Amino acid sequence: MIEGIRLRSLSDGGFESVSDFDIKISGFRGSLSGGSAVEKKIRILVAKPGLDGHDRGAKVVAQALRDAGMEVIYTGLHQSIDQIINSALQEAVDVIGLSIMS
């Protein structure tokens, strides 16, 4: 786990710690596997659409997700929507995470 990193909570606009995030992800992981003993490793595509050239936040979130036991595919900067969709289909991901500045 990365210490001291905080992630924006989409529900209330505030911030939550990585440990709180890990608890939510554990529940999500259980729902994907149907609560069975065999768990599917969640595959997440993290993408930076548009012209924004800053990717530090996306990389921090990607690392936090990896630390939580997920497989993360990071596509890099300046991706078009078509590139993101094609990557998601090719990688057969469960979740697409977009990091945008605007």
The answer to whether the predicted template modeling score (pTM) of the entire model surpasses 0.85 is no
Percent of the chain with pLDDT over 90: 52
- Quick one: average pLDDT of 58-81? 94
Structure tokens at 15: 């911030």
Domain boundaries, the chain: 6-98
- Quick one: average pLDDT of 52-78? 93
- Specify the 3-state DSSP secondary structure of 7: strand
6-98 maps to CATH 3.40.50.280: yes
Pairs from 31-40 (Cβ < 8 Å, separation ≥ 24): 32/94, 40/94
